[in-house]
Structure 1
Amino acid sequence: MVSERGLAVLRAIVQDYVATREPVGSKSIADKHRFGVSAATIRNDMALLEDEELIAAPHTSSGRVPTDKGYRVFVDQLADVRPLSAAQRHAIELFLGASVDLDDVLARTVRALAQLTHQVALIQYPSISRARLQHVEFVALAPRRVLTVVIADSGIVEQRVVELSADQNPELLSGLRDAANAAVAGVPMADASPVLLGLAAAMPEPVRVLADELVASVISVIEATRQERLIMAGTANLVRTEHDFSGSIYPIIEAIEEQVELLKLFGEMAADQHGVAANRDVTVSIGRENAPFGLAETSVLTSGYGLGGDAVARLGVLGPTRMDYSTNMAAVRAVARYLSHSLGEQA
């Protein structure tokens, strides 16, 4: 069991090691942090922390550095998540306020998050199949060519050109559009397909085939967007911290670019919510907790974003375990809130 002073010593070690990248010794803690006890007493506290595997000596006769377990205890005990400065908040508002659509707002958001944290920033693109259908539109482009537009409440707008087997007519397009919007507006995208198929089957026989083709185009948009993906920025930040990794960073870069493992990790963090009890809406996965995903030397911080308090996807940062957790958590939290607000204004 670690004492209150032991936890304070652990916090000092984490903060000093993050700031300097140098192993931290008892004398430096006693001199800098003014615990009111001798360096010998601090050494005893550090010995207990080492017994608990919260800190370790990278070299003989060196100071101590936090372990993955130590970072986890530090994050779980973290109460002073520093808020962003007024200038930082204004920069986020200004940066995101200029966005014109969902793709633009996500691209701007991930760049802003990378600049704020100096880490790799990641945003999970909201899956249209998890959102609710807001509107369906059919736009005639040519006698046998129609543009199908699907709009979700998460801000996603997807479109597809469908080639028809016969000439379309305005009555068919407007009739099917009105029927679709009356039947499935507000319905989860994943549940919309059977309803749409029923609408096509109920259309008069002369236009049944065309209705089937138009409905199929809507369903194909939904199915095509079930594949989740990430938007990334700041990969160069990982290269700048290469010295914080024991081996090559290229397997980490490959895992990031592959996205599959990261998306699995995002999914587990959303389901497990590890760390949320201590830090509310920011989830933190540290070091060896990420080993199953090929990211054992990294920490990943994420938060959900969405509309009306419902998270439709996650955003976050990835970097070495030696990172400024307090500042990065504040940035992830703030950017998630601003993004949710921005999506609400666009909806």
Structure 2
Amino acid sequence: MSEPRRLEVLRAIVEDYVHSREPVGSKALVERHHLGVSSATIRNDMAALEEEGLITAPHTSAGRIPTDKGYRLFVDRISDVKPLSAPERRAISSLLEGADDLDDVMDRTVRLLSQLTNQVAVVQYPHLGNAKIRHIEFVLLAPAQVLVVLISTTGRVEQRVITVPEPVTEPDLSDLRQHFLSSLAGTPLSSITGHVAEALATVPAARRRVADALGHSLELLAGINREDRMVMAGTANLARSTVDFPLTIGPVLEALEEQVVMLRLLSEMEQDARGVAVRIGRENPYGGLSEASVVATGYGPDASAKVGILGPTRMDYPNTMAAVRAVARYLSRILNN
């Protein structure tokens, strides 16, 4: 059997099955893909592919569908991830660049990626351990009530209202804000405590009690949500794909809901030379995802957090890989700015 034709037959089976959800027969391949050989030759090729474990016959059907191994060979043979169309790129740019803060960016990212792929989209929050303090703001709400705002280099905004131990004036509060900002700007969130202590050591005694309360509040804000977490969208797409999960869709939904499994999986996935990572079916080490595929890539300055999609193994891998990579690049650009 011709090796190039074998791969071409596999490619055609994957594409037809992804499009139709129906097992693919030799006659349909000859009619749709102009392979230049007879149905009998294609049947021989399909028999060889089945013997290699790349395709299989579901139940008593005369057609064939790809196996996890077949999908893997197909994905590995995708020589390059094609770019999205100009309208798709404009849509990504306009939607993401209109976000107000990091939470809004994350929410828009998963909604957009879910719409582009018709799958479940997930994104890890940037690791706050790598984030630094970008800006601090103190807003006087009442003589002894202050809104404390902390903005990190990841774009995340944390705020809280505190009651200070004694009344403070606008000028004094402005001076304290400038004092903390000059001491803490550029400081990693993970090491804020020591820098706050250094800043407090040089605060005049008359302002020390108020400064202590403000400094403690900044430490608390820096510690919010340091643990890994993710946001997702598009779980309704899974509900419309129940036929792709012949055993049960329950374990997939549980993995998404608990988040720990997905976060661990995303952290373990390593990108290939094309800048994406793909786990197919039983390649996933978590049994609940044995009928699902995950396509992900890193984003941000160090690409340590991931954005990606989860769906059935019967997915449009080329377009999904392109969408995930494009969204990650726009997301990185926005966060870097």
Distance in 2 (alpha carbons) for counterparts of 1:238 and 1:66:
20
The aligned residue for residue 343 of structure 1 is 335
Q: Distance in 1 between matches of 2:198 and 2:49?
A: 65
The structure-2 alpha-carbon separation of the partners of 1:173 and 1:117, relative to structure 1 and needing over 3 Å to count, comes to same
State the one-letter code of the partner of 1:160: R
Query: Cα offset for 1:215?
Result: 1.8
For the residue of structure 2 that corresponds to 1:122, the secondary structure is: strand
Instruction: Between 164-173 and 113-122, report the one with greater CA deviation.
Output: 164-173
Alignment-derived partner of residue 5 in structure 2:
5
| Cα separation, partners in 2 of 1:95 and 1:135, compared to 1, 3 Å | closer
* Counterparts in 2 of 1:143 and 1:238: CA distance versus 1, 3 Å: same
Q: CA deviation at 1:168?
A: 3.9
1:215 is aligned to 215
SS of aligned partner of 2:319: helix
Q: After the TM superposition, which of the residue ranges 322-331 and 129-138 deviates more from structure 2?
A: 129-138
Q: Distance in 2 between the 1:312 and 1:149 partners?
A: 26
Pair 1:247-2:247 in alignment: yes
Amino acid at match of 2:113: L
C-alpha distance in 2 between matches for 1:219 and 1:318: 36
Task: Work out whether 1:36 is the aligned partner of 2:36.
Answer: yes
Query: Which of 307, 313, 316 pairs up with 2:308?
Result: 316
Q: Is the 8 A contact 2:84 2:323 kept in 1?
A: yes
| C-alpha contact (below 8 Å) 1:134/1:152 kept by paired residues | yes
- Tell me the alpha carbon deviations over residues 174-218 of structure 1, each in whole angstroms, 9 at most, x when there is no partner: 444334333332232223332223322444455444433322211
Q: Counterpart in 1 of 2:324?
A: 332
Whether contact under 8 Å (1:30, 1:37) holds in the other structure is yes
Distance (Å, rounded) in 1 between the aligned partners of 2:44 and 2:335: 52
Letter in structure 2 aligned against 1:266: L
- The 3-state SS of whatever aligns with 1:100 is coil
Q: Identify which of 299, 312, 330 aligns with 1:305.
A: 299
Partner of 2:266: 266
SS where residue 311 of structure 1 aligns?
coil
Contact 1:122 1:317 (8 Å CA) reproduced: yes
- Structure 1 residues 72-115: Cα deviation after superposition (integer angstroms, max 9, x where no partner): 22112112534322332233233334333333333223222211
Amino acid at match of 2:155: G
Aligned partners of 1:87 and 1:207: how far apart in 2? 56
SS of residue in 2 equivalent to 1:318: strand
Runs of 5+ in structure 2 lacking a partner? Answer: none
Instruction: Please name the residue that 1:70 is paired with.
Output: 70
- Greater Cα offset, 313-322 or 333-342: 333-342
1:163 maps to: 163
Task: Look up the match of 2:290.
Answer: 296
After superposition, give the CA deviation of every residue in 1:19-59 in whole Å (9 maximum; x if it has no partner): 11122233333343233334344334333333332222222
Provide the rounded CA distance (Å) in 1 between the counterparts of 2:297 and 2:37.
Answer: 39
Change (3 A) 1:204 1:98: closer
Match of 2:233 in 1: 233
Structure 1 stretches of 5 or more lacking a match? none
Structure 2: distance between partners of 1:29 and 1:3:
17
Letter paired with 1:341: R
**Aligned partner of residue 139 in structure 1, secondary structure:** strand
TM-score (norm 2): 0.88
| Aligned-pair Cα RMSD in Å | 2.6
| Pairwise CA distance, 1:173 | 3.7
State the alpha-carbon separation in 2 of the partners of residues 95 and 244 from structure 1: 31
